[in-house]
Structure 1
Amino acid sequence: MAKKKSKQQQPPPVLQGEVEKPSAPTPAEPSEEYEGEEEMELLQVDLGDMVKMKQVLDEGISSALLDHVPEDYHWDNFKLLLMFVSCVFAMTAQFAPIPFPESRPVLGICGSLYFILSGILQFITTFIDKDMIMQTLPLSEDDKTSTKQSPLLFKYGLRVRSNFPRFSEFYTVVLEYRIPSKDPMYSKIEEKSVKAVWSVGKFFDKEGYFDEVGLANEVSKLYKRLEAEDYNGKDDDKTAKKKTE
């Protein structure tokens, strides 16, 4: 059978005086490597404000630990309740619809209760919380991801403490278990804890920009040490053995 010849379409002729317009360029498609990328805004802190620097570091540590353990809000809620009640007494003393001097007993009672509750809150902050920045709940069985996880994580919550002395460049953070005082393990709280000391220059550059990702990575390493039961006491024992050898 003879093959049919395909007809080629010829472009339309251009009339004299007409100029063929070039086709508009198609917009370039965005590169796939930039898809899904988001710009991260870095937090800038005044390096002379040590209180603000500690606040930023404390918040960064709390945020990083929430990726591993759930936070316990009961103690914070109790303190908020005390603050709320003290404010109620203060507002009652200020806006009670009783003319003076008949309002003297109300003013005396409300003012006294306000100062008593404020004193209790100050006592809690100074002598109970001290340098604590966060408390966590014990892990549940659903959070078990490895057989190497310390069983203490499923029995006790964690207490996170931090310290940043004035005029110092070193920031200290400690992860320890919330062991009740009546528990036989209470005497071993310090032994079964992990501690890290970092220079703040590791997380802040000379312009005061904060490296939140770098801090989160260091906190994850510290938590992994606690998870693997690589406590500070073990390191001290190792160094002591080396010295005796």
Structure 2
Amino acid sequence: MSNNGDSGNGDQSAAAAAAEEVKVDKWDGNAVKNSLDDAVKKTFTDTDRKLKYRENHSLVDTRLAICVTAVGAAMFALVWDYMRPFPESRPVLILCVIGYFVLMSILTAYTTLVEKGIFLRAVQTDANGATKLWTLSSMLKRFDDIYHLCIEYKAPNGRVAEANLSKSIANWFDTDGTLLYDKFESEVLKLHDSLLSDKKNK
């Protein structure tokens, strides 16, 4: 009976490992970058991992607010034109169209100048209730195999430090395109811990 139970547990562990396995086309740069970004996010925020930080959604919420406002302007133009057919609706349509393109320009500037490749902001709260902000951004250029990861740490006193990692993706994927998560996570944690050790030394 115990052998059957052990076998069942082994099957469940194998199934769980298979479910967590990430496999991508190594020649698809976007898929590779996204899988690595997701792995970093999991390392920082997953409750089953070491850090268990809380994700800060402010960047995404701002982007969504701009998009929703732009779509709202377009929908209002449609409804207004239905209620007051052209040409009576022309002034409102002109304002809505201008507003839509202004908001799209703001969105482009926001994603380019503010987000700048940031895929995660995580909040760490210590035993004293002080909050520390971790900002993570990445880049993988087209037709390049070097993945660049930047981790920025902002202490409660406003002091900022950052650490960077630049390595070939071949270090973290096997020949079949399966992500070697444990190996990648150890490097991410090493980068994370280097910032904390710098803080202690200062």
Q: Give the direction of change, closer, same or farther, for the CA distance of 1:28–1:178 in structure 2 (3 Å limit).
A: closer
For residues 206 and 29 of structure 1, do their structure 2 counterparts lie closer, same or farther at Cα, with a shift above 3 Å needed?
closer
Query: Which of 109, 127, 132 pairs up with 2:118?
Result: 132
Structure-1 residue corresponding to 2:24: 45
Find the counterpart in structure 2 of residue 23 from structure 1: none
Structure 1 segments of 4+ aligned residues over 4 angstroms from their partners: none
| 1:146-165: CA deviation from partner (whole Å, max 9, x where unpaired) | xxxxxxxx453111121212
Structure 1: distance between partners of 2:14 and 2:79 = 51
Residue equivalent to 1:56: 35
What corresponds to 2:60 in structure 1? 76
* AA aligned opposite 2:177: G
**Is 2:190 aligned against 1:211?**
no
Contact 2:150 2:163 in 1 (8 A): yes
The one-letter code matched in structure 1 to 2:4 is P
Question: Take 1:226 and 1:220, find their aligned partners in 2: how far apart are those partners?
Answer: 10
Match of 1:221 among 179, 190, 201: 190
User: 2:2 & 2:126 partners in 1: Cα distance?
Assistant: 51
Query: 182, 201, 208: which one pairs with 2:170?
Result: 201
Gaps of at least 5 residues in structure 1 are: 1-26, 144-153, 235-245
Q: CA RMSD in A?
A: 2.9
| TM superposition score normalised by structure 1 | 0.67
Bigger fraction of residues in helix: 2
CA distance in structure 1 between the aligned counterparts of 2:31 and 2:138, rounded to whole angstroms: 14
Identity %: 24
Structure 1 residues 165-209: Cα deviation after superposition (integer angstroms, max 9, x where no partner): 2222111211112479xx5x4xxx4xx322222221122222222
Q: Structure 2: any 5+ residue segments left out of the alignment?
A: none
Q: Which amino acid aligns with 1:53?
A: V
TM-score if structure 2 supplies the norm length?
0.80
- What CA distance in whole angstroms lies between the structure 2 residues aligned with 1:205 and 1:129? 31
1:1-245 alignment runs, 5 A limit:
30=4, 32=6, 34-35=8-9, 36-39=12-15, 40-41=18-19, 42-66=21-45, 67=49, 68=51, 69-96=53-80, 97=82, 98-141=84-127, 154=130, 156-178=132-154, 185=159, 189=160, 192-229=161-198
Give the Cα separation in 1 of the matches to 2:180 and 2:76: 46
